[in-house]
Amino acid sequence: MSSGNHYVYVLQCQDTTYYTGYTTDIEKRMKAHKEGKGAKYTRGRGPFSIVHEETYSTKREALQREYFIKQLSRKEKEKLIHNKGGAKDEYSKKLSK
C-alpha cells in the first residue's frame, strides 16, 4: 500500500451540484477539471470551488471515504460541508469497528 497524502474533495459546480473525487495532488486535479480534462461529470459545469477537503495517509482510506461521501444525499453532503468534517468523526468510528 502506498502512503502519503491522499485527498478526498467535494467541488461545487456552477450549477450548484456537487462532485466528489480522490487525488494525490489537489492543484493538478483542479487544473484538469478547469481544462475539461477531469471527470466527465464536471465537463461544462465550471467554474468550480472546493467546498470540502479531507486528507488521509493511505489510498485505501481515501477511496473508502470518497465512496462513503458519494452515497450521501445532497442534504447530508451539505451538512458535511457546513460542519467542516463533522461527519468524518462518524465515518472514522465505522472504520475502526
What domains can be seen in the chain, in order of their start residue?
Answer: 3-96 (3.40.1440.10)
CB-CB contact of 57 with 3 (8 Å): yes
pLDDT of residue 97: 43
| pTM for this model (two decimals) | 0.81
- 5-57, pLDDT tens digit by residue? 999 999 999 999 999 999 999 999 999 998 888 888 988 888 999 999 999 99
Instruction: Report which secondary-structure segment, H or E, holds 7.
Output: strand 3-12
What is the spatial distance between Cα 48 and Cα 53, in angstroms, rounded to a whole number? 14
Cα 75 to the center of its chain, rounded Å: 15
Q: How far apart are the first and last CA of the chain?
A: 21
Confidence of residue 73 (pLDDT cuts 50, 70, 90): very high
What is the spatial distance between Cα 43 and Cα 78, in angstroms, rounded to a whole number? 22
